[in-house]
Structure 1
Amino acid sequence: MAHLSLPLLGLGEVVFEGKKYSSAAINKKFNWEPIQLKSKEGLALLNGTQFMSAYGVYSLLKAKKISTFMDVVAAISLEAYDGRVEPFNELIHKVRPHNGQFITSRNILKIIEGSEIAAQDKKHVQDPYSFRCIPQVHGASKDVITHVQKVFETEINSVTDNPTIFPEEDEVISAGNFHGQPLAMALDYLGIAIAELGSISERRIYKLIGGTRNLPPFLVSNPGLNSGFMIPQYAAASVVSQNKQLATPCSVDTIDSSNGQEDHVSMGANAATKVARMMDNLEKIVGIELLNAAQALAFRKPLKSSDYIENLIAAYRDEVPFVEQDIEMHLVIQKSIAFVKGKCTEMTIKDFV
């Protein structure tokens, strides 16, 4: 907060058009005058939960979008794995009516509607949890996101300054609205939800390369000669493990400062920056799942998936090629991640596909 505020006073540095300048130089360039602080204004610029609120809202908006798009990617994985549709039956979710669970199951059914792959007879009775329990896991994370949204909506419409001035009551009260505990705990909760979305995504990646359900090992036609999609799963597993470690709560930590006056702090700023990093990691994991799912789905031909999925894969193939033999996988992984980011950016903030 101090570094953000310094340029208002003609101090510190700013980045303008990709270059770093002193604030004094920028003020001179635009004929701006530094502001002159009045009583209490300096403290107002520094005190409060604005930093963690801004980071948190940014990550929250991204989480809402990717949690919906992950239903799309999971549906493609389900089709590629020749998964059963019964676990998404509305009857199942009416008797355990968690909102996120219901939303997820309805999304999956809508996405695969009309699929020849889904309609064909299945030899297997049940799918692994990472497919069968998509509504329960994705849904639980959606419910966390909804809870965290309520916390942040309250916070960004609140006064977190100290002391707080009440002009009509002619009161100046020194209290603790600056304390970030409500946000810190909510951000830690959001981090757990993000970690779990990535964890189940990586498990689907792992299943797709396993050489079962009439899919070739590592999703290439000649797996003995080619390592295929083995290494992308390594990459996903690495990033998933990072997120699991980052999911350790920040809000249970505190340290004494200001000669014991500030003896309990929220660590909310650390929680906020941590969650932003976890969101970046989740985008990588989902990009790798989509890369694997699209590759695996091609081995289901001549059967077709739903129009929704076929159209999405057609757009995806304009950006990311089908892999015939070993290539530099880093490049296609990056393209797939960029596709996921682009689709999430395009999405409106909603729960249903």
Structure 2
Amino acid sequence: MSHSRIELDGTSLTCDLVARAARGDVMIAISDTGRERARAAWETVRRVAERRPVYGRTTGVGANRAVEVEWEDADAHGLRLMRSHAAGAGPLARPEVVRAMLVVRANQIAAGGSGVDPGVLAALADALNLGVLPPVPVYGAIGTGDLTAMASTALCLIGERSWLAGGLDGGGEADADAGLARGPHFPLSSADALGFMSSNAATLGEAALAVTDLREALDASVVIAALSMLAVRGSREAYAPAVHVAQPVQAEVAAAVRSLLAYELDTPARIQDPYGYRAFPQVHAPALEAARHAERTVTRVINSAAENPLVDVPDAEVWHNGNFHTAGTGLALDAARLALFQAGALSAARLGTLTEPSFTGLRAFQANAEAASGIMILEYVAHSALADVRRQAAPAALGSAVLSRGVEEHAGFATQSARATGEAVAAYRIALACELVAAVRALRMQGRAPSGGALRAAFDQAASVLPDGVEDRPLDVDIAIAADLLPRLARLLPSPDEAVHLRRAE
């Protein structure tokens, strides 16, 4: 797949590709194999529906599942489903989230289990390429299918609801008064209505964005922790290979820090550092493992035919099931947020050491004069952001719901978990930015810089854009600049293969 074109085939979509498609100016195409899978499922479900009931196609939905649709009402049935379920509420979802939803839904249909007319794939790709979006309110899903979001999309496709002009900057929320736009039209049949709507694409799209951002932030945090460690002349004993031999991911984190500090020859200032440095591998590794598990979980589901009913082409059958339920995704994201809070708490702890003269050799708060405030306020900002990470870390899976006259008696709230994960990562980035500002300022005031390698590159990138004045002044611009640097710093982290190679060499 090129940088300017992403081809959806139902089997090879990644979270990173979802993020690129949602946030970048790329062309979306559908592979021939994806179209053929969708076509085979479409032909199969029509044959099955002639001989036995198929949920939502020949019956009602929810508690009405046992009510058969009369043949003379068949054409109106699906239209009623689309209209009745397009009932979301609240502000509109961010444009990047809606684009991610369209990407995931197209890929799911290309996986070949929905039974929806394959012509809808071209329409979804056209919407993405034209930059138009269906209006999708935030509230309406609880982790058992994004019915309100998909119903609104379906009404746009059949021309009953207007498309909105969608931006690609990924920032801000879509406005209810956003300009209307000309978008694709596709005559989605009544029989295909439920097949199109029965999807968790909005939840999975937002989850894919969140885990992509989470991985990037965690990578950047290793580089920032190494800068802080250099600034306080920390000991590398806690990162010795023998300490981590029984924990592979922990060993990987320790090796990455050793690699970043490989050029530094300073004598440690103390025999044993605070937890922010000494326990960094032990705290960061679980966050990394949780993030990787969440990414694997989301990747697996966005490349599967998570449909109810599922069209089984080889067996020429339709299976009614619970594939719409995203319990596993929600639980993985819940775990990732809990681990992220622990990583954020260590970042705040390191920031605390960067305000202390006994650690930096500078005045308190890195001030340029007695009684000056220096970076004092950074701790308040970091802990304010960290409080939001803690608030969002509450497991969404602790909730449940009984709906539709008791027929749908469980919900995992993965939708809320996905949203909370994105918000938690955004807050964590602010805490990291505060630490980065403090670490770079400390090194500058000490007249020091990393001696070489990736850590020197990280310092140089930060120093080239962060203001160098140490007088008391507003630091909000510094924090914003540092937050924008995180993706670049993340790319400087030694890869796991490089870290393993270093560990073996030692």
Question: In the TM superposition, what is the alpha-carbon distance from 1:77 to its structure 2 partner?
Answer: 0.4
| Amino acid of the structure 1 residue aligned with 2:255 | R
The within-5 A match list for 1:63-102 is: 63-94=214-245, 97-102=246-251
Matched with 1:201 is 347
Q: Distance in 2 between matches of 1:348 and 1:58?
A: 21
Looking at structure 1, the residues matched to 433 and 323 of structure 2 have their Cα atoms a distance apart, in angstroms, of: 40
Query: 3-state DSSP class of the match of 1:259?
Result: coil
Partner of 1:267: 413
* Offset of residue 252 of structure 1: 1.6
CA contact (8 A) 1:65 1:350 kept: no
Q: Which runs of 5 or more structure 2 residues have no equivalent in the other structure?
A: 1-148, 168-176, 500-506
Q: 2:186 is matched by which residue type in structure 1?
A: I
Superposition deviation, residue 122 in structure 1: 3.5
Separation in structure 2 between the aligned mates of residue 313 and residue 349 of structure 1, nearest angstrom: 15
**Alpha-carbon deviations, 1:37-84, whole Å to 9, x = none?**
225422233222222221112221222222122111000000111110
Aligned pair partner of 2:179 in 21, 44, 54: 21
Aligned counterpart in structure 2 of residue 314 of structure 1, from 442, 454, 460: 460
Distance in 2 of aligned mates of 1:217 and 1:64:
33
Check if 1:220 corresponds to 2:367.
yes
Find the counterpart in structure 2 of residue 229 from structure 1: 375
Q: CA deviation at 1:248?
A: 0.4
Q: Distance in 2 between matches of 1:91 and 1:83?
A: 18
Alpha-carbon spacing, 1:144–1:323, altered in 2? closer, same or farther (3 Å): same
Identity %: 21
Q: Which residue of 193, 202, 205 corresponds with 1:42?
A: 193
Contact 1:164 1:175 in 2 (8 A): yes
- For each residue in 1:270-319, what CA deviation from the matched residue of structure 2 results, as whole angstroms up to 9, or x when unmatched? 00011011111111111111001111122333x54331333322221221
Q: Please give the per-residue CA displacement for 1:115-174, whole angstroms capped at 9, x wherever unaligned.
A: 1xxx33335221000111111111111111222233223212222111112233232222
- Structure-2 separation of matches of 1:304 and 1:317: 10
The answer for unaligned runs of 5 or more in structure 1 is: none
Where 2:164 maps in the other structure, the secondary structure is: strand
Q: Structure 1 residues 10 and 347 mapped into 2: Cα distance closer, same or farther (>3 Å)?
A: farther
1:123-134 to structure 2, matched below 5 A, reads: 123-134=269-280
Using a 3 Å threshold, how does the CA distance of structure 1 residues 349 and 21 change in structure 2: closer, same or farther?
farther
Deviation at 1:85, TM superposition (A): 0.9
Alpha-carbon distance in structure 2 between the residues aligned to 1:160 and 1:202: 40
User: Which runs of structure 2 are paired with 1:150-299 in the superposition (5 Å)?
Assistant: 150-213=296-359, 214-224=361-371, 226-299=372-445
Within the candidate set 321, 328, 331, 2:474 is matched to 328
Structure 1 counterpart of 2:159, which letter? G
- 3-state secondary structure, aligned to 2:179: strand
Deviation at 1:17, TM superposition (A): 6.0
Matched, 1:145 2:286: no
CA change 1:64–1:198 in 2 (3 A) is same
Quickly say closer, same or farther: Cα 1:101–1:246, change in 2 above 3 A.
same
Counterpart-to-counterpart distance in 1, 2:329 and 2:262: 40
| CA separation of 1:5 and 1:229: change in aligned 2, threshold 3 A | farther
Distance 2:313 2:450 in 1: 64
Question: What corresponds to 1:121 in structure 2?
Answer: 267
Contact 2:458/2:492 (<8 A) preserved? no
Aligned residue for 2:485, secondary structure, equals helix
SS where residue 121 of structure 1 aligns? coil
TM-score by length of 1: 0.89
* In 2: Cα distance, 1:192 partner to 1:203 partner: 17
**Alignment partner of 2:178: what SS?**
strand
Return the alpha-carbon distance in structure 1 between the equivalents of residues 267 and 437 of structure 2: 26
Q: Is the 8 A contact 2:235 2:269 kept in 1?
A: no
Supply the distance in 2 between the matched residues of 1:348 and 1:208 (Cα, whole angstroms).
Answer: 22
Q: Is the 8 A contact 2:310 2:318 kept in 1?
A: yes
Instruction: Please tell me the residue identity of whatever aligns with 2:457.
Output: N
Question: Does the C-alpha gap of structure 1 residues 273 and 223 become closer, same or farther in structure 2, counting only changes over 3 Å?
Answer: farther
Assess, with a 3 A threshold, how the Cα gap between structure 1 residues 183 and 349 changes in structure 2: closer, same or farther.
farther
Looking at structure 1, the residues matched to 297 and 495 of structure 2 have their Cα atoms a distance apart, in angstroms, of 18
TM-score (norm 2): 0.63
Secondary structure of the equivalent of 1:15? strand
